Structure 1
Amino acid sequence: MNVLAFFTATVQTTRGLWRIGQTILGIIFRHPIAGTSIIPILSDGRIVLIRRRDDGLWALPGGMVDWGEDIPSTVRRELMEETGLELTKIRRLVGVYSSPDRDPRIHSICVVVEAEVEGKMEVQDALEVIEIQAFAPSSIPQEPMSHDHYRQLQDYLNGLTTLA
């Protein structure tokens, strides 16, 4: 195993352990965990979605806010980790979704943003993502999507700013 492969495997294992730790802390302290969903928009107007490894469903990229991190930093990091794309600009807040059953794993509060992105789509974290694809807004996959991402996308496409 070369040094780069070893380093990548170590980082992915550490991230996985951190996510498990976050879930455990959420259960222990009985407080919701903050996270993000990103609606990545390419220059041609297509929306980038990922297919998740855990449930096989299409989803928005995103994830949990790390300790000491703000929402824009989380958006930038999660976008790169899951899609290989770079954040150009956060255009707007689409909504804040806090229903206790929106994520089957934990109670999380999700801040959803629309973001201009650029670069080459490429799976960076094969433990989480199995596919990346860009869709015209009129050809977004129908339900079921992972978590409440279908609702988030519909709110976005309808021009809403949602607090739910």
Structure 2
Amino acid sequence: MDVVFHTEQEVFNYRVAGIWIKDNRILIHRASDDTIWSLPGGRVEMNEASSVSLQREFKEELDISMTIERLVWVVENFFDYRGKKVHEIGFYYIVSNEMEQPIPVGPFHGVEGERLIYEWIPIDELEDVILYPEFLKKALMNIPDKTEHYVVSN
């Protein structure tokens, strides 16, 4: 069971995301019916460590086994989405894998079908993308050596 709670007007969500950078590009994704991009990941399940959750999400969505390098950001994110106030706790990890093949050019879908669209975007072009949480656009240019905590509200 995912750690997400809904009321009529609010949502609480516990999310993990992967910072996967190759060749100065970062992998981002969005729902097929949306314009907002985010870092790939998903909801943590009850009684599941956040790092294990992130590995599970990459395996389910892209059929890729990831190595979790380290936790970079813990984010308390407050925003409105589809008519509801959202309170999201997010753990953002640097991830890697031993993928030898070149990264795909342009949008592509994962193994789950057309629900999500993925794309490798040059890091220096993130300003041109609707990426949430918005602090990521600048923060990804200079990833800190130690874990940082952010409180973000739109």
- Please state if 1:142 is matched with 2:96: no
Give the number of the structure whose residues are more often strand, by fraction. Answer: 2
Percent of residue pairs identical: 21
**2:112 alignment partner in structure 1:** 125
Please list, as runs of the form range in 1=range in 2, the aligned pairs for 1:7-156 lying within 5 A after superposition.
Answer: 23=4, 25-27=5-7, 32-42=12-22, 44-88=23-67, 90-101=68-79, 106-119=86-99, 123-126=110-113, 128-129=115-116, 131-140=117-126, 142-145=128-131, 147-148=132-133, 150-156=134-140
Runs (4+) off by over 4 Å: 102-105
TM-score, scaled relative to structure 2: 0.69
Give the number of the structure whose residues are more often helix, by fraction. Answer: 1
Deviations 1:46-86 (A, max 9, x none): 32122322413332101110112111111101122233332
| Counterpart code for 1:107 | H
Residue 57 of structure 2 aligns to a residue in which SS?
A: helix
**Aligned partners of 1:141 and 1:86: how far apart in 2?**
29
| Counterpart code for 1:156 | L
Question: Runs of 5+ in structure 2 lacking a partner?
Answer: none
**Aligned partners of 1:92 and 1:45: how far apart in 2?**
19
| Counterpart code for 2:126 | I
| Counterpart code for 2:135 | R
1:83–1:123 contact (8 Å) kept in structure 2: yes
**Aligned partners of 1:56 and 1:31: how far apart in 2?**
20
1:52–1:59 contact (8 Å) kept in structure 2: no
Residue 140 of structure 1 aligns to a residue in which SS?
A: helix
TM-score, scaled relative to structure 1: 0.66
CA RMSD of superposed structures (Å)? 3.0
| Counterpart code for 1:134 | W
- Please state if 1:158 is matched with 2:142: yes
Question: Runs of 5+ in structure 1 lacking a partner?
Answer: 1-17
1:41–1:47 contact (8 Å) kept in structure 2: yes
Return the offset for 1:26.
4.1
Residue 144 of structure 1 aligns to a residue in which SS?
A: coil
